[in-house]
Amino acid sequence: MEKFRIATMADIEEFERISLQERLTSFNTYDMIKEGAAINPEAPAISFFPSGEAYTNPSRITYRNFLAQITRTANLFHDLGVGPGDVITYLLPNLPHTHYVLWGGEASGIVNPINPMLNPSTIREICLAAGTKILVALGEFEGPDIWEKACAIRKDLPHLKAVIRVMGPGDEKEGVYGYDEIITRYQGDKLDSGRVIDPDEVASMYHTGGTTDTPKLAPHTHFNESAMAFMVEAATELRTGETTLCGLPLFHVNGTTVTGSPPFSIGAHVVLLGVMGYRDPTVMKNFYKIVEHYRAVTFSCVPTVLSVLLDVPKGDADISSLRYAVCGAAPLSVELFKRFEAHIGMKIIEGYGLTEGTCVSSVNPYHGEQKIGSIGIRLPYHEMKVFAVDEGNRFIREAEPDEIGSVCIKGPNVFNGYIDVAHNRGIWAKEGWFNTGDLGRQDTDGYFWLTGRKKELIIRGGHNIDPAAIEEPLYRLDGVQVAAAVGRPDPHAGELPVAYVQLQEGSDLTSEQILDYLKKEVGERAAVPKAVFIIEQVPLTPVGKIFKPALRWEAIRQVYLEELATLGDMVESVNVTVMEDKVHGSLATITVKPASGALPEDIRKRIDDILTRYTIRYRLEIICEQGHHSGDRPRQGHVGAPED
């Protein structure tokens, strides 16, 4: 496709003078990849190495072989009885096989990627909600216990017809097929089904985060995914034949979309950063050498990754090929943003999106002004506005510039509603407009700034955690009267879950006992709270509802006090208060009384260094004999929709 320099909202409007339907040349993911492969069939589509120590000796898959393997996989599924309405669930880490299953699955049926690190009971509930017909799981591989989980749940899935084992032998009498054993039986040059894919047919369904009732599954049509790939490609700067690095998991839309379908649609090269991606310490240790070796142009990540890479020395690695990184899904400290750009010497493009929008809604434009702390301007062909809504999340009016309201999205990438219709109540501000649950404002240049969340999701390293997944087990514990889970600021993950508990009269439960209980009862490892705080009374609203903002403010206050304790003998006293801020969502006020002989500017610099990786804006007040010294410190990042 033509490259168009998008720098402002005016450029987007000019780009949109030609309709999306006219610009798109394929309306389903199979044809989209087929077109990308045709550009240069002998070019590398994927390079893969199992760990960061083996980056110089990858397996390389050309586009010719990539498309053939996708087609063979689609034909395998078709042979097993999969049709356009049947669901293929996979439990796989980052492997070339994962892409074969993903895109081959979409060419034959509906793909349901699941985080293989979830507990078996949670995986089972997602499969039941999806109606899984084929289960694909990793077999023989050192470390992960994925195969054991697949075996534990398969008998509980009433619609299951077959299990496919990636890496490892099958047992066809037991309905288990070894992928590598049988895939060569199938032709790779055409779909045996002869299927003509309708753009409105469902291609995939993604689990949007932990819930305690029916899992939330967001379906994407082929048109959603094809449009999303085009929109992302139009707004970024990857070109045919260039290399992008993929370290985010391939069970989340960021990994499959930002570093998946867009590069494949234009014949670019995707380097899979090992089985574990960014979770592999050897990948992080060798990251800059990997960039040099593959002459990588870009990578997609969450702030956790940038925070770790900031502490990795570049050494003598030549990373001049890097032009930009796309960062989203969780808050990004403004100071971390600046330091990382200085450390690497490239642009960071902050973005925002969510599963319900097939991944991306807005980005800071590569060619335009980078408003640090904002989530940028909307993508081409995607509508994004701030609405004033009523208590039922229904549209009242469009917000004025810089007025805080509900961020709502509409467009060819936005889904049509969750699989379970019970989850669709209250999600549409008005017809076609999905209410993201995030609060924000739009400035006069069209840039969006997030200020908080109406929905109470805790976002840990980009992974959505439903507080109910923590709170409901707490209410089952004898001795607990009131419980609430909130996100506590964390310099690496953005937020970590913590729980506040009000005990019944006479209860002698301790924080340690409650935490031990939750480790057994919470179905998702990432959702287990990092701490439990027993308090005398959980704050309530005038109508008796739990007032979670006060608990979030208390969590911020505790973290900042703990961090500022390292000021030591520089100060006589430190006090932190946190309250609502009409522009930034939350504001911490730090009041410091210097110790004798300590200079205010030294204290200010030290506090900036201590809090540099946190996203909560703060105001510093230094009380000394000469009077107050005060000033805001911008630490406002953004929130969004992959896994911690």
List the chain domain ranges.
9-441, 462-546, 557-633
Residue-wise pLDDT tens digits, 601-622: 999 999 999 998 888 889 999 9
CATH number given to 462-546: 3.30.300.30
pLDDT value at position 634?
45
CATH class of residue range 9-441? alpha beta
pLDDT value at position 232?
95
What is the C-alpha to C-alpha distance for residues 242 and 162, in angstroms, rounded to an integer? Answer: 38
In single-letter form, the type of residue at position 23 comes to R
Q: Kindly state the average pLDDT of the residues 328-350.
A: 78
Does the pLDDT of residue 40 top 70, yes or no? yes
pLDDT value at position 333?
67
The residues, ordered by sequence, that sit 6+ positions from 606 with a Cβ below 8 Å of its Cβ are 567, 570
User: Checking phi first, is residue 580 left (phi over 0); if not, alpha (psi -120 to 50) or beta?
Assistant: beta
Q: Which of 160-164, 235-239, 331-335, 455-459 has the highest mean pLDDT?
A: 160-164
Structural tokens at position 349: 């493009």
What is the C-alpha to C-alpha distance for residues 218 and 370, in angstroms, rounded to an integer? Answer: 31
What is the C-alpha to C-alpha distance for residues 106 and 109, in angstroms, rounded to an integer? Answer: 5
pLDDT band at 629 (very low <50, low <70, confident <90, very high): low
Does the pLDDT of residue 633 top 60, yes or no? no
* DSSP-derived pairing of the beta strands 585-594 and 617-624: parallel
Does the pLDDT of residue 210 top 60, yes or no? no
Instruction: Concatenate the DSSP letters of all residues of 113-161 into one string.
Output: E--TTS-HHHHHHHHHHHTEEEEEEE-S-SS--HHHHHHHHGGG-TT--
End-to-end CA distance of the chain: 34
Q: Kindly state the average pLDDT of the residues 273-289.
A: 95
pLDDT band at 164 (very low <50, low <70, confident <90, very high): very high
pLDDT value at position 3?
66
φ, ψ (nearest 5 deg) of residue 512: -65, -40
pLDDT value at position 575?
95
What is the C-alpha to C-alpha distance for residues 112 and 125, in angstroms, rounded to an integer? Answer: 13
502 in Cβ contact with 339 (< 8 Å): no
Does the pLDDT of residue 37 top 70, yes or no? yes
Sheet holding 59-62, edge to edge: 59-62, 44-48, 269-272, 243-246, 298-301, 324-327, 347-352, 362-363, 377-378
- Mapped onto helix, strand or coil, the DSSP state of residue 383 is strand
Best CATH choice for the domain 557-633 from the list 1.50.10, 3.40.50, 3.30.1340, 2.40.50? 3.30.1340
Does the pLDDT of residue 103 top 90, yes or no? yes
Residue-wise pLDDT tens digits, 367-381: 999 898 899 999 999
pLDDT value at position 626?
61
Place of tokens 């288990």: 176
For residue 320, the tally of other CB atoms under 10 A from its CB is 11
pTM of the prediction?
0.80
- Residue 59's H or E segment, with its range, is strand 59-62
Q: Give percent above pLDDT 90 in the chain.
A: 70
Residue-wise pLDDT tens digits, 521-554: 987 888 999 999 999 988 876 556 688 889 999 9
Place of tokens 């969780």: 330
* pLDDT-wise least confident of 60-69, 322-331, 499-508, 633-642: 633-642
Partners of 87 in the β-ladder = 110, 132
